């Protein structure tokens, strides 16, 4: 694949997360979209997203698993490297999968290091805020790897949370989530994803932090928004969370295109002379 930089004869100048705090403070809304392969990564980058998140939602939308728990480190590296090849100039953030960073800080450092070395990503994302984990996040940040945090509904804890439920409802739960966000900021994250959080609480957390919050199902007051590409495109047409706005109906487009191809083949009208050698 010829990259834009190669076509123009220059070294790729990659977007980074180094200025996210300032951009958030300036009131610039950050746009993050997931991708898992080179083709979609190129389109997402062309469309001007600030970052591509190689989410472990790949386990759901690509592999068909019910949860993200079966996703492995090697799979995330495979998807991350594909996204990097498709979008060489983009800011790429790779999700660390379940059990790749929770066992020990040393293991987390090695695994985050592998992701950075083998994918060419600029950052990793880790879910949660337990005390051991914030120490680990601090250690990862200390070796020069930017970390995005993820609070609220954290899909890798789906069984403990009892399903994809809104988190932080009620005064105590809200205070706990705010504290968790502060701990992540203290640990050195460059941004925090807030997933399934009441809009008012997301606003409070956004105000309390100097790093940007990136919402998904967390209302309009976050400094940025993220959506899973397949949801945004309307490919996952049986998935209907309240927060989701579909910007296309590609499920219908795909069905119609494949059905029409089938009709043409069965009728003998494809390939015709113009599509033959």
CB of 197 to ligand KIV, least distance (A): 12
Measuring CA to CA, which residue among 149, 194, 158 is closest to residue 70? 158
d(CA 175, CA 238): 34
Whether cis (ω within 30° of 0) applies to the bond prior to 271 is yes
> For residues 130 and 154, is the Cβ–Cβ distance under 8 A?
no
d(CA 88, CA 116): 14
Write the binding mask 207 to 246 for ligand KIV: x where contact by CB under 6 A, - elsewhere: ---------x---------x-x------------------
Contact window for ligand KIV (CB under 6 A) among 43-51, 52-60, 116-124, 184-192: 52-60
213 pairs with which residues across the strands?
192
Q: Give the pairing of strands 213-216 and 191-195.
A: parallel
Among 108, 177, 193, 232, contact with ligand KIV (rule: CB under 6 A) = 193
Among 24, 55, 86, 146, contact with ligand KIV (rule: CB under 6 A) = 55
Among 56, 137, 180, 235, contact with ligand KIV (rule: CB under 6 A) = 56
Contact window for ligand KIV (CB under 6 A) among 13-21, 51-59, 181-189, 256-264: 51-59
CB of 223 to ligand KIV, least distance (A): 14
d(CA 217, CA 224): 12
The one catalytic residue in 66, 142, 195, 207 is: 195
Contact window for ligand KIV (CB under 6 A) among 10-18, 55-63, 77-85, 112-120: 55-63
Q: Which helix H or strand E contains 133, and what residues bound it?
A: helix 131-142
- 148 forms part of the interface with ligand KIV (CB under 6 A): no
Write the binding mask 80 to 119 for ligand KIV: x where contact by CB under 6 A, - elsewhere: ---------------x------------------------
Burial call 178-200: b when 16+ CB within 10 Å, e when fewer: bebbebbbebbbbbbbbbbbbee
CB of 226 to ligand KIV, least distance (A): 5
Using the minimum distance from each CB to ligand KIV, give the nearer residue, 57 or 167.
57
Q: Give Cα 224 distance to the centre of its chain.
A: 12
Burial call 42-77: b when 16+ CB within 10 Å, e when fewer: bbbbeeebbbbbbbbbbbbbeeeeebbbebebebbb
Measuring CA to CA, which residue among 22, 86, 25, 28 is closest to residue 54? 86
CB of 11 to ligand KIV, least distance (A): 30
Whether 207 is catalytic is no
Catalytic residue set: 195
Footprint of ligand KIV (CB under 6 A): 34, 53, 55-57, 95, 193, 195, 216, 226, 228
């Amino acid at each position: 694949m010829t990259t834009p930089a190669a076509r123009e004869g220059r070294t790729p100048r990659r977007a980074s997360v180094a200025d996210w705090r300032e951009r958030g403070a300036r009131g610039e809304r950050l746009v993050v979209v997931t991708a898992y392969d080179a083709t979609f990564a190129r389109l997402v980058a062309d469309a001007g997203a600030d970052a591509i998140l190689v989410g472990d939602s790949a386990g759901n939308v690509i592999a068909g698993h019910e949860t993200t728990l079966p996703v492995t480190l090697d799979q995330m590296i495979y998807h991350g490297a594909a996204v990097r090849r498709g979008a060489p100039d983009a800011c790429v953030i790779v999700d660390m999968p379940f059990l790749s960073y929770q066992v020990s800080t040393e293991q987390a450092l090695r695994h985050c290091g592998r992701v950075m070395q083998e994918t060419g990503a600029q950052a990793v994302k880790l879910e949660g805020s337990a005390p051991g984990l914030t120490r680990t996040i601090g250690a990862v940040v200390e070796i020069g790897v930017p970390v995005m945090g993820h609070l609220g509904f954290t899909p890798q804890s789906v069984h403990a949370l009892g399903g994809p439920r809104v988190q932080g409802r009620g005064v105590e739960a809200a205070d706990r989530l705010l504290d968790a966000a502060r701990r992540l900021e203290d640990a050195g994250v460059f941004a925090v994803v807030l997933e399934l959080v009441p809009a008012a609480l997301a606003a409070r957390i956004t105000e309390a932090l100097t790093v940007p919050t990136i919402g998904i199902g967390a209302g309009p007051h976050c400094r940025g928004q993220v959506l899973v590409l397949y949801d945004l495109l309307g490919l996952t047409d049986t998935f209907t969370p309240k927060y989701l706005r579909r910007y296309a109906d590609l499920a219908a487009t795909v069905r119609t295109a494949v059905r029409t191809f089938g009709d043409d083949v069965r009728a003998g009208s494809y390939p015709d002379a113009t599509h033959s050698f």
